[in-house]
Amino acid sequence: MITSTSNPRMKEIIQLRKKSRMRTKTGTFLVEGLRMIREIPKERLVQLYATEEFLKKHRKEPIPGTEVMLVSPEVFAYISDTKTPQGVLAVVRQSMFTQEEILEKCSGKSGTGTDRPAHLLVLDNIQDPGNLGTIFRTAEAAGVTGILLSRDCADIYNPKTIRSTMGAIFRMPFVYTDDLPGAVNSLKKHDIRVFAAHLEGERAYDEEDYRQGSAFLIGNEGSGLRQEVAACADVLVRIPMEGMAESLNAAVAAAVLMFEVSRQRKRY
């Protein structure tokens, strides 16, 4: 049993929790709590850590992986990201996708057979870890086929973000890119129509047809889409607002758009 916080493995976990750079370097990230840990694809589990108390309590429940490393409750409290830790934590391998892989899974045209029309999100400088996780969670539910992120978005592997994804992190294809305008322009070559969520959009979001391949550009929480990114869109769409509301939360705006796609594709 690991009983010291100066154990090298524990030190590494603290680094993985705190430092995006460390997560990138090792190609791993942390997942906490039974519910999330159950959703880890087996082949991506690197190491599982748990307290004796946790193992006793959940003796009958299926936990992925065979070898669990025991950690004392004191040390677990030290490595955990939550105030009241459940006592189970995993190191998990990051997944890697290319933009091509994301596009292979769908098509621009309203597809037949295994092909489904693309339903993509393109995130420009989303900063709030909770928002980012919520966008992933919502995207899975709305049938999004993949997510492109500008390099300066928050780190999807941040523990708070991972928690907010509610497991979508393991299933949603995504890729960070250094050249978001370039990436968006290449979507258009695949017959994907690109819509920018924009306060000055000339069209209301529900006046457009999303049944064929569609991508949505979603901008930063405070400042919206960068001009050079918005300029890549085929159409700027706005979500009509009442009252004195000036804008919507980024995750909320994305949700309204994604579920309009889902609604249109199911209904017709």
Rounded distance between C-alpha atoms, residue 45 and residue 48, angstroms = 8
146 backbone dihedrals φ, ψ, rounded to 5°: 175, 160
Taking the complex as a whole, the smallest distance from the CB of residue 95 to a copy of itself amounts, in Å, to 15
**Which lies closer to a copy of itself via its Cβ, residue 178 or residue 268?**
268
Residue 129 lies near a copy of itself (rule: CB under 8 A) = no
Distances, alpha carbon 148 to alpha carbons 70, 124, 141, in Å: 38, 9, 17
Q: Which residue matches tokens 């997560």?
A: 23
Name residues whose C-beta falls within 8 Å of residue 143's C-beta, 6 or more positions apart in sequence: 116, 119, 258, 261, 262, 265
Name residues whose C-beta falls within 8 Å of residue 83's C-beta, 6 or more positions apart in sequence: none
Rounded distance between C-alpha atoms, residue 262 and residue 256, angstroms = 10
CA triple 59-79-132, angle to 5 deg: 95
Q: Rounded to a whole number, what is the distance in angstroms from the first to the last CA of the chain? A: 58
Q: Which of 64, 73, 111, 130 binds a copy of itself (CB under 8 A)?
A: 130
The closest alpha carbon to 1, from 81, 82, 55, belongs to 55
Taking the complex as a whole, the smallest distance from the CB of residue 181 to a copy of itself amounts, in Å, to 28
Contact pattern from residue 164 through residue 203 relative to a copy of itself, giving x for each residue in contact according to CB under 8 A and a dash for the rest: x-xxx--x--------------------------------
Taking the complex as a whole, the smallest distance from the CB of residue 197 to a copy of itself amounts, in Å, to 13
The closest alpha carbon to 190, from 210, 213, 172, belongs to 213
Taking the complex as a whole, the smallest distance from the CB of residue 45 to a copy of itself amounts, in Å, to 17
Question: CA neighbours within 13 Å on the CB side: how many for 124?
Answer: 27
Contact pattern from residue 37 through residue 66 relative to a copy of itself, giving x for each residue in contact according to CB under 8 A and a dash for the rest: --x---------------------------
Taking the complex as a whole, the smallest distance from the CB of residue 90 to a copy of itself amounts, in Å, to 18
Residue 241 lies near a copy of itself (rule: CB under 8 A) = yes
Residue 255 lies near a copy of itself (rule: CB under 8 A) = yes
Residue 142 lies near a copy of itself (rule: CB under 8 A) = yes
Q: Which of 22, 141, 199, 235 binds a copy of itself (CB under 8 A)?
A: 141
Q: Which of 112, 200, 246, 268 binds a copy of itself (CB under 8 A)?
A: 246
Given the rule CB under 8 A, which of 11-19, 51-59, 175-183, 244-252 is the region that contacts a copy of itself? 244-252
Applying CB under 8 A, which residues contact a copy of itself?
39, 130, 134, 137-138, 140-143, 164, 166-168, 171, 204, 206, 239-249, 251-252, 255-256, 259-260, 262-263, 266-267
